[in-house]
């Protein structure tokens, strides 16, 4: 089965590699030619435009930064809509605004093109080892027929409702992740300032109710001063913007999410926008005038 894959960034490149490992043929596209060449060296074919991919395949996956990028690739000049055949499918695995997913799906439907919104969670490590979680919106029968394809990149693929529901689920995920990172930051900075080893506190609490996947992923990064991006602050700000816009549209107050958004913006202003979102800890360190360590 030949799949088009557009977007070979931090998440997209390892996901595409996992599809190759699973035996799928790929046609890839990205502005980063080095990433494209790497996939080609592994057996993929390259394309110059999204329309070319749509002409050569019936199923295409996008893994792009935000709503405008997906709209451009799907609906813009030389976009998928220009080359796609009736009955083709776009699986958008980007994290974008739910309303944008619905708008893109409606436009594609006029040409007989199906769409699933299927954002992912897990960060670069889980993208590499193929254990990301995928939350999917769209027609149930389309989901069912493409479940195995998505599972080639994931440990969990869950159907959550009609188109746009996948990105609603992802926004909920990002609230929990952001607040969890902030809570871990507060706790470890408190331990350091009080003269207790953050490393030992982490070991003491990770097996109890406070333990979480987020803590296990991010606490060691904070203590080791490793802020290489598995997921950038800039991208989490993008997600938080979508979260707060969606919350306003449906009338749901999100006081904690709003506060973490301000923390992220402050960290970005300190020049850390391209760092991992574990650099949220720097906000608390700055206020407490201390730096955590093991």
What residue ranges define each of the domains in the chain, with the CATH number in brackets? 2-163 (3.40.50.720), 169-288 (1.10.1040.10)
Cross-strand pairs, 161: 137
| Predicted pLDDT at 123 | 87
Secondary structure, 3-state, 177-225: HHHHHHHHHHHHHHHHHCCCCHHHHHHHHCCCCCCCHHHHHHHHHHHCC
Question: 3-state DSSP call for residue 160?
Answer: strand
Alpha helices, DSSP H only, in the chain?
12-21, 33-41, 50-56, 67-75, 80-83, 98-109, 123-129, 140-145, 147-151, 165-193, 198-205, 213-223, 233-250, 255-267, 281-288
For the full predicted model, state whether its pTM sits above 0.95. no
Reply yes or no on whether 170 is catalytic: yes
CA–CA gap between residue 235 and residue 268 (Å, rounded): 11
pLDDT of residue 230: 86
Residue 67, helix vs strand vs coil: helix
Cα separation of 242 and 29, whole Å? 26
Q: How far apart are CA 100 and CA 207, in angstroms?
A: 40
3-state SS assignment for residue 2: strand
What is the per-residue pLDDT for 140?
98
**Per residue of the chain (294 residues), what is the pLDDT tens digit?**
899 999 999 999 999 999 999 999 999 999 999 999 999 999 999 999 999 999 999 999 999 999 999 999 999 999 999 999 999 999 999 999 999 999 999 999 999 999 999 999 998 999 999 999 999 999 999 999 999 999 999 999 999 999 999 999 999 999 999 999 999 999 999 999 999 999 999 999 999 999 999 999 999 999 999 999 989 999 999 999 999 999 999 999 999 999 999 999 999 999 999 999 999 999 999 999 999 998
Give the length of the chain.
294
User: Catalytic one among 170, 218, 238, 282?
Assistant: 170
């Amino acid at each position: 089965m030949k799949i088009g894959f557009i977007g070979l960034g931090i998440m997209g490149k390892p996901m595409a590699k996992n599809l190759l490992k699973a035996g799928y043929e790929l046609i890839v596209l990205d502005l980063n030619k080095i990433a494209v060449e790497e996939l080609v060296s592994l057996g993929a074919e390259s394309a110059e435009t999204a329309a070319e991919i749509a002409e050569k395949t019936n199923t295409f996956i996008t893994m792009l930064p935000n709503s405008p990028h997906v709209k451009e690739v799907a609906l813009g000049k030389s976009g998928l809509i220009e080359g796609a055949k009736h009955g083709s499918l776009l699986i958008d695995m980007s994290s974008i605004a739910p309303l944008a997913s619905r708008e893109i799906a409606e436009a594609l439907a006029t040409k007989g093109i199906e769409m699933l919104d299927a954002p992912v969670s897990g960060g670069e490590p889980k993208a590499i080892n193929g254990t990301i979680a995928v939350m999917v919106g769209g027609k149930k029968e389309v989901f069912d027929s493409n479940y195995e394809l998505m599972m080639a990149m994931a440990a969990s693929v869950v159907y959550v409702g009609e188109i746009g529901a996948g990105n609603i689920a992802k926004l909920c995920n990002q609230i929990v992740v952001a607040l969890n990172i902030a809570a871990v930051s507060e706790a470890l900075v408190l331990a350091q300032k009080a003269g207790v080893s953050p490393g030992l506190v982490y070991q003491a609490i990770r097996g109890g109710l406070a333990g979480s996947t987020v803590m296990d992923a991010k606490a060691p990064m904070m203590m080791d001063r490793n802020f290489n991006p598995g997921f950038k602050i800039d991208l989490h700000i993008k997600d938080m913007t979508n979260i707060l816009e969606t919350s306003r549209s449906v009338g749901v107050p999100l006081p904690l999410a709003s506060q973490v958004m301000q923390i992220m913006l402050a960290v970005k202003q300190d020049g850390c926008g391209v760092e991992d979102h574990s650099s949220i800890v720097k906000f608390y360190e700055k206020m407490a005038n201390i730096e955590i360590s093991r």
